[in-house]
Amino acid sequence: MAKGLNRILLIGTVTQTPEMRYTPGGLAVLEVTVAGNDRVTTETGEERELAWYHRVKMFGRYAEMLVEQLTAGTPVLVDGRLDYRSWEAEGGRRSAVDVRVDRIEVLDRADKGDEQTVSDARGQERLREGLNEVVLIGNLTRDPELRYTPQGTAVIRIGLAVNERYVSRGSEQEKTHFFDVQAWRELAEWAAGLKKGGGLFVMGRLVNDSWTTQTGERRFTTRVEANRLERLARGPGRSGGTGAPAKQAQTGGVDIDEGLEDFPPEEDLPF
């Protein structure tokens, strides 16, 4: 399994003054929603603004240091990682993708004028000129399947497993994150040639999506809309040796099928 790369940069505004929470173990947890607009050029060359709202999490002393500053409307830069969580719920397994903060900086945009935010239906301020960039390296969890919207636009969904290594209590731990990546048009058609297990570089935006299931339930998801994809070569020198590397070396000890029976939840697909 390719060594994971997992980064997100966001510039947006804090939508609501947050409240600090503490875990039963006493760890401070601060969650804020950061919101902005992406400016996207459509197929027909029009510029459209697309809103995004992402949940951003900080922990411990860093959270305590920042809680006073992150009031509603504050413009911030977030440098972090996508974080995948999953849990059992009524009706099956659910998952969510949030942003885990490595660093957050309050921005001084006082001289950018009054028109820099737009007020949404709930009265929350959203930054007009948001920044929203995701960079990932991971492995495909399955062969992706090219589909077409009713209007005939090519679209593909890619399940990406991104591993993370970290040291906890002196021993090296490994976690695998599962992200849903979507690509459109020429990029989708190219991606139809990708295969399960292959290493992939993804650059894109983190977007919110919602749809109604066949049973009438409203569902929300957070996914990456790719604007660039690159296939990694399976170089023999990756592990520093020659010949066929052991399975352990290839996968980094993680089975990319693990927990994937329902990722992404195909039955919920909006098209």
Tokens of 127: 């930054």
CA–CA distance, 140 with 133 (Å, rounded to integer) = 20
Tokens of 176: 């695998």
Q: What is the enclosing helix (H) or strand (E) of 186?
A: helix 185-191
Of 69 and 86, the one with the shorter C-beta distance to a second copy is 69
Near a second copy by CB under 8 A: residue from 107, 118, 146, 187:
107
Tokens of 204: 């894109």
Near a second copy by CB under 8 A: residue from 28, 29, 232, 260:
232
Of 57 and 109, the one with the shorter C-beta distance to a second copy is 109
Contact between 20 and a second copy per CB under 8 A: no
Binding-site string for a second copy from residue 210 to residue 229, where x marks contact by CB under 8 A and - marks none: ------------------x-
Q: Which of residues 61-80 bind a second copy (CB under 8 A)?
A: 61, 65-66, 68-69, 77, 79
Contact between 231 and a second copy per CB under 8 A: yes
Contact between 39 and a second copy per CB under 8 A: no
How many Å is the maximal CA-CA distance in the chain?
A: 62
Sign of the Cα torsion 40, 127, 179, 197 reads positive
CA–CA distance, 84 with 211 (Å, rounded to integer) = 20
- Whether the CB-CB separation of 81 and 7 falls below 8 Å is answered with yes
Place of tokens 């009438």: 216
Total residues contacting a second copy (rule CB under 8 A)? 36
CA–CA distance, 266 with 95 (Å, rounded to integer) = 13
Q: Of the ranges 47-55, 88-96, 163-171, 198-206, which one interacts with a second copy (CB under 8 A)?
A: 198-206
* Residues binding a second copy (CB under 8 A): 2-3, 5, 9, 11, 61, 65-66, 68-69, 77, 79, 103, 105-109, 111, 131, 135, 137, 190, 193, 199, 201, 203, 228, 230-235, 237, 240
